Amino acid sequence: MNERIVINSSPLIALGKMQALDIIAQLAYEFFCPAQVEAEVLTGASLGYAVNLPSWVKVFPLQSPLTPFASLALDDGEAAVIQLALEQKISRVCIDELKGRRAASAVGLQVVGSLGLLGKAKASGLIPAARPFIEQAQQSGIYYDSNLITMFLKALSE
């Protein structure tokens, strides 16, 4: 059985701009997102951004409304990703933004980002190298800290 993971909109957008969504779909994960993330992606698509919610991401509504405290500290998508993971007892989330990553870690969730999924794709033999995907993302306006990219590529022996 595949491991379950709740994914936020930013990694979906980054992976879409990398043209890596079809590759990520092949990982041994079952992907979920809250309705708030679906709404963010649909709003972006209506504004002309070239991103759609992949059919392999299952949308789950939250069992209870977002807490006001969570919405103050994080955007609704990040807060909803964390809440959905906790409600559904899913131990792993995919969030790129630092505040969201810290909040998820603080409540005991395992955090991976778009780069982590890309690294897993390479480790699984789905891609020969991560660097071309990262370069594609950067050329499409996705920002990653240069030190992070250097460490990431070094860890992948690239």
Residue-wise pLDDT for 41-75, tens only, equals 888 766 666 678 899 999 999 998 887 777 677 88
Residue-wise pLDDT for 12-41, tens only, equals 989 988 999 999 999 999 999 999 999 988
Residue-wise pLDDT for 123-149, tens only, equals 999 999 999 999 999 998 888 999 999
Task: Report CA Rg, the chain.
Answer: 15
pLDDT average, residue stretch 76-99: 95
pLDDT at 108: 96
Measured from the Cβ of residue 74, the count of other Cβ atoms closer than 10 Å reads 22
pLDDT at 33: 97
Distance CA 131, CA 33 (A): 27
What distance lies between CA 1 and its chain's CA centroid?
21
Give me 71's structure tokens: 């919405």
- Is the full-model pTM beyond 0.85? yes
Q: What is the DSSP string of 3-58?
A: EEEEE-HHHHHHHHHTT-HHHHTTSSEEEEEEHHHHHHHHHHHHTT-S----TTEE
CATH topology of domain 3-155: Rossmann fold (3.40.50)
pLDDT at 100: 93
Q: Which residue ranges make up each domain of the chain? A: 3-155
pLDDT average, residue stretch 68-92: 89
pLDDT at 82 over 70: yes
Cβ(69)–Cβ(44) below 8 Å: no
Distance CA 66, CA 155 (A): 37
